[in-house]
Structure formats: C-alpha cells, structure tokens
Structure 1
Amino acid sequence: MDSSDSDSSVEYENSFESGSDSDADISGMDISDTDELNSDWQRISTTAPKSAPSHFLFLSTPGCTFNAENFDVLDYFQLFFDDDLINTLVTETNRYAEQQPKRSSDVLQLVSVQEMQIIH
C-alpha cells in the first residue's frame, strides 16, 4: 500500500489568513523560508468535514413589499414578466426563428413586444 492510499480521506487546508503580503514573490526564498510557509498547513478530514459557516444572516421580514390589495391577474403577471423580460423573450424568439431552416414558401414574421404581451 503506498502513501497516497493511506491519505485518501485526508486533505490539507491552509490556516494562513491571506493579506496584502500573500501575493509576494516566493521564488527568491531559500528552503528554510518555504518550510516556514508550509508550517501553516493543517490536516483536515474529508470523511467528517466541518460545516461551512453561514455567509450572512437573514434579517428581513418575509412577505410582500408592495400593496397588493387591488391587484388583478394582469398586475400579478407584470410583477414577474416586466418589460426587460418581455424584451428578452421577443429578442430570443426572433433569434430562434431566424436560425431555423426556411422553406421557400415561408415568410419570416418576427414577433413584436405587443404580440408577446397578448400571448402571455
């Protein structure tokens, strides 16, 4: 059994906090200097890794941030399908139509924003 098999469940992590000096050129260092850099490495287990810390705290109150008392179906639709999304749908629909092979009898008709809004 070689040493690579015995370390299969172990990896290493650097406990050194990166700072402004972390980008320094180490090519000019002698061996004793690089040994000092390696002394910050610690053995970690891949079979029982530490759980990752949360990246942020959720401090918002859930729910609507707008008054939806008098909304109808179209108002709710427009909350999700805003002008930017409709324009993207029109652009990509027309791009797809232009990329398709055409028969000689077909006339390409591009979709407009108004047509897309009627469809949806």
Structure 2
Amino acid sequence: MLHRWLVGLLIGAALLVGLRGIAKDVQFDSALLRQAFDAGAGWEESVPPEVVEARALLSRHGDPSVPVALAPGLWEDPLVRERLWDGLYPRRVHWADKGLMLWRTPGPQQPDCTEIARSERIVLVDCH
C-alpha cells in the first residue's frame, strides 16, 4: 500500500515539474489565462462597431425596459440587425418609425426627431 502511494506521489511530482517547464517555454501568463474565462473577453472585437457604439449609447441614456427601434439602414443589414438583437439583450429591439430609435450617422433628417446622443457611427434619437 505504501509503495502505491509513493509511486503516485512520484508521478504527480514529475507531472508538475514537466508542466512547469512547459509553462516557462510558452511564457505562461496567468492574467491571459484569467481572460480566457471572462465571459466578455473579445466581445468588442467580434461584433460590428455599430453594435459596440449602440450598446455604449444605450447604457448611458435611456431606460433598459423601453424597447429600441432600428432605423431602416440598420434594419436592412441582416448581420448588424442580428448582432444588435443579441448585443443589446435584454433590451427589446424592433422595427418602427417612431419612439426611441437607433440610426446610422448622420441621423434622421426629420423635424419630429430629437437627438439624445451620438457616436461615430450611431445616433440615438427620440422620434414623435
């Protein structure tokens, strides 16, 4: 019984020494390993920039329980529409011609729309 325990201990020690050597060879960085388990890691790089900007605008302005409409330019682009739908969750996204809306820049040219916030590619407006 003691021999089995010693053999197990020796195998475990050899495994740890081997893994330590591999970690040194590949320049192991624990901060990078922690990022691999972060749910949001790489999100901004994996979605269109309109989604990142829309999410930032809506996080600073507006009630999350109020649905947001996508203007025709955003609604007609299937990739951006799907990514906005996913990226803005749990906020409800729909198509409408009034209410809280996201437009591509330069924004709506309608007199009944009030600009709330603007980024490089997206304009958040309230249309009556």
Which TM-score bucket, shorter chain as reference? under 0.3
- For normalisation by structure 2, the TM-score amounts to 0.15
Q: Which has the higher strand share?
A: 2
Quick check: which has more Rg, 1 or 2?
A: 1
Structure (1 or 2) with the greater helix fraction: 2
